[in-house]
Structure 1
Amino acid sequence: MTSDAERLESLETERRELFAQGSENAAVRDAATLIIVDESAGLPRFLMGLRGRRHVFMAGRFVFPGGRVDDCDRELAAAVTLPADVLDRLTGEVAAGFTSRDAAALAFAAIRETFEETGLLVAEDRPFATAMPQDFAAFAARGLTPATEALVPVARAITPEGAPRRFDTRFFVISASLITGITETFDPPTDELERIGWVSAGALDEHSLAPITRTVLGDVMTRLKDGSWCDASVRMPFYRVVDGRFHKDLV
């Protein structure tokens, strides 16, 4: 198994390469991604998609569904309160002014982006408490509520300087068994991903993964083995650049 030191060295190598490109330092935006885990067939599998090579960010890489937080996510976040353990994970080491509403917006963003990129509705079978914006029309039409409380935060990472896009990303996990309509094949409903499919834990080396994706997957697989992956009370890794080098903290 890859050690923490090896994971950090891989991240540091990528950081140096990005910085050497001399790209304009982009603003850091809040983002969220969802790791859907299927444990039904022996080795765990993860739902991932291939980003097209024309994209500026993560081009040609296999990624989890996700993206930046939008206004519609913040709008819905005003009506919910996440569980205390989840809030503890999402509000550790944040800037002044980051609230529980900002934390909830991250969960909504992960669910919305998952629907937009895979067609899957991560939802509860009950109507939402308030009117829903157009971006969540598919949920409202079916009388569903985005299942924000089912998401468990397991990692956080800030894109290093030098990248054309920079995000402060929270990685959530959810069991595939909790999602209605899980299938073996997917037709991407947008042009974000060239293809979508299940990637086995035993076949990760056959796919082009960014170092941070591989690093977070390593953390998730460690928690799958010890049975803590659905426990939001467990502190999660926070990957960021400190004093010019990648660090792993716990939040």
Structure 2
Amino acid sequence: MDKTAVRNAATVIVLRDRHDDPSILMGQRGASAAFMPNKFVFPGGAVDAEDAQVPLATPLPAVCHDRLADDAPDGLQHALAAAAIRELWEETGLILGRPGTWPGDVPEDWQQFAATGHLPAADRLQFVFRALTPPGRPRRFDARFFLVDAAHIRTDIDDFTHACDELSHLQWIKLRDARSFDLPFITEVVLAEVESRVATEDPPASVPYFRNSDEASLFLRLRGHPMPETD
């Protein structure tokens, strides 16, 4: 695999106590990680081929599905939502899903999730930011950031015993204190968007897109293209 190729990715920002003293869930990447070593980040990672075939108990909100279609391959929304839920499970042990039985064979990367008796549920994910890693980095990702309220997590939000070891020092960080941690630049930018979303639980009408290409770095807005109504 060409490690310099751009890979689609999904990142999850879990927000706790949003109307009181909000916190976000973050962990620290290892010192030997090829991408953003030692940095505190949100759970997330690249989309796997099998994510597109994973059954969702509930779909993404329509407005988020629409925004994800902007400047993207057709039909990628399902895989991005599934990847977000899988990465949240793998890196934190938290479940965003609904009780249910999986039809047919379960993909290998989803077997532990399925063993909990849940199907992934995407209706509470809110697409809030998109960022393309600049050229010249050891890894490049076209990352979509999803915000979800901790109230919709099915498991104990303080129990990380089922998390893999990709992120260490998993913890709830007060939103007001997050910038005191060693963060990637793009995470600091995303934090500003999260702060603007705390007071409302509705998905955003448009989504910021920080696009870094060989030609330029641009801040764009994804506004979507509504599907025509059918009889």
TM, length-normalised to structure 2: 0.86
- Kept in 1, the 8 Å contact 2:55–2:119? The answer is no
- Kept in 1, the 8 Å contact 2:58–2:123? The answer is no
- Please, which moves more after superposition, 191-200 or 29-38? 191-200
**Which of the residues 229, 234, 241 maps onto 2:205?**
234
Give 1:181 deviation, angstroms: 2.0
Return the structure number with greater helix share.
1
Partner of 1:61: 39
- Kept in 2, the 8 Å contact 1:31–1:106? The answer is yes
Letter paired with 2:74: T
Partner of 1:180: 154
Unaligned runs of 5+ in 1: 1-23
**Which of the residues 162, 182, 191 maps onto 1:217?**
191
Aligned-partner Cα distance in 2 for 1:167–1:41: 32
Unaligned runs of 5+ in 2: 223-231
Change in CA separation of 1:153 and 1:130 when aligned onto 2, cut-off 3 Å: farther
Residues 114-151 of structure 1, C-alpha deviations (whole Å, 9 max, x = no match): 11111111111233455421222233223311012221
Residues 47-70 of structure 1, C-alpha deviations (whole Å, 9 max, x = no match): 000001100101110111110000
Change in CA separation of 1:25 and 1:115 when aligned onto 2, cut-off 3 Å: closer
- Kept in 2, the 8 Å contact 1:27–1:166? The answer is yes
Letter paired with 2:218: H
- Kept in 1, the 8 Å contact 2:44–2:87? The answer is yes
Matched, 1:99 2:74: yes
Letter paired with 1:28: V
Letter paired with 2:132: I
Aligned-partner Cα distance in 1 for 2:139–2:101: 35
Percent of aligned positions that are identical: 38
Partner of 1:149, secondary structure, is coil
Matched, 1:134 2:108: yes
Q: What's the RMSD between the two structures over aligned residues?
A: 2.4
Matched, 1:119 2:93: yes
Change in CA separation of 1:134 and 1:242 when aligned onto 2, cut-off 3 Å: closer
Alignment size in residue pairs = 221
Partner of 1:36: 14
Aligned-partner Cα distance in 1 for 2:67–2:113: 27
**Post-superposition, which runs of at least 4 consecutive aligned residues in structure 1 deviate over 4 A?**
77-81
Partner of 1:92, secondary structure, is coil
Change in CA separation of 1:217 and 1:233 when aligned onto 2, cut-off 3 Å: closer
Aligned-partner Cα distance in 2 for 1:200–1:172: 18
Residues 159-209 of structure 1, C-alpha deviations (whole Å, 9 max, x = no match): 000110000000001100111223336347323112200111121232101
**Which of the residues 155, 160, 163 maps onto 2:137?**
163
Give 1:245 deviation, angstroms: 3.7
TM, length-normalised to structure 1: 0.80
Aligned-partner Cα distance in 1 for 2:61–2:211: 25
Partner of 1:132, secondary structure, is coil
Letter paired with 1:119: G
